[in-house]
C-alpha cells in the first residue's frame, strides 16, 4: 500500500518520525478534493496518543473534504537549512497517513483542545468554556503509517 523509501540511508525509524510529529507545532494537511485534485493547507497541531490533532471553524473546505473522503496525509519539517555550496539541504521531515475524524464528543474535544493549548501555549490557562468548545471543531487523524527522512 505504501511505497518503500528509496533513500534508505536517510530513512528514520518510526519512533524518530513520531518524535518529529511531537516536536513540530505546525504542518501541512493534505486532502483530496471531490474531483481528485490535491488540497494542502498549513495547520497547528499536537500529537496526542498516536493522533495528529488540530482545530478549526465548524464549517469550511477542509471539513467538506474530510466528510467526503477522510483519507489524509500530514507533513512536518522541524529543521531545514539550504547548503548552497553543496547544492543540498539539511533537513528532518516526517509524513504521516491516516483517516481524519471530526470529533463530536464534548469531553474528548475538551481533552484534545487542552492538549493543543499545552503544546502551543505551555503553562497558559485553558481558554475555552463549554460554549466555546461547542463552537470549535476538533479533527484528529489516527496515524496509520508514518515515515521520516533526514539529512544531517
Say how many residues make up the chain.
152
Ordered by start, the domain boundaries in the chain are 8-151
Topology of domain 8-151 in CATH is Pnp Oxidase; Chain A (2.30.110)
Look at residue 2 in the predicted model and tell me its pLDDT. Answer: 79
Half-sphere exposure of 42 (CA within 13 A, CB side): 5
pTM of the predicted protein model: 0.92
| Percent share of the chain, pLDDT over 70 | 100
115: β partners? none
Look at residue 6 in the predicted model and tell me its pLDDT. Answer: 87
| pLDDT tens, residue by residue, 15-71 | 999 999 999 999 999 999 999 999 999 999 999 999 999 999 999 999 999 999 999
Find the distance separating the first CA and the last CA of the chain, reported in whole Å: 29
Q: Is 125 helix (H, G, I), strand (E, B) or coil?
A: coil
Edge-to-edge strands, sheet with 137-151: 38-44, 26-32, 71-83, 88-103, 137-151, 51-56, 46-48
Amino acid at each position: 500500500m505504501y511505497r518503500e523509501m528509496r533513500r534508505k540511508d536517510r530513512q528514520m525509524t518510526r519512533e524518530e518520525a513520531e518524535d518529529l510529529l511531537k516536536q513540530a507545532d505546525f504542518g501541512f494537511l493534505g486532502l483530496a478534493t471531490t474531483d481528485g485534485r490535491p488540497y494542502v493547507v498549513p495547520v497547528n497541531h499536537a500529537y496526542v496518543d498516536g493522533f495528529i490533532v488540530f482545530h478549526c471553524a465548524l464549517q469550511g473546505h477542509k471539513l467538506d473534504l474530510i466528510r467526503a473522503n477522510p483519507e489524509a496525509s500530514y507533513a512536518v519539517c522541524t529543521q531545514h537549512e539550504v547548503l548552497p555550496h553543496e547544492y543540498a539541504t539539511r533537513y528532518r521531515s516526517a509524513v504521516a497517513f491516516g483517516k481524519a475524524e471530526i470529533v463530536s464528543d464534548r469531553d474528548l474535544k475538551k481533552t484534545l483542545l487542552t492538549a493543543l493549548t499545552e503544546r502551543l501555549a505551555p503553562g497558559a490557562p485553558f481558554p475555552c468554556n463549554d460554549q466555546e468548545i461547542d463552537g470549535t471543531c476538533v479533527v484528529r487523524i489516527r496515524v496509520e503509517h508514518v515515515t521520516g527522512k533526514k539529512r544531517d
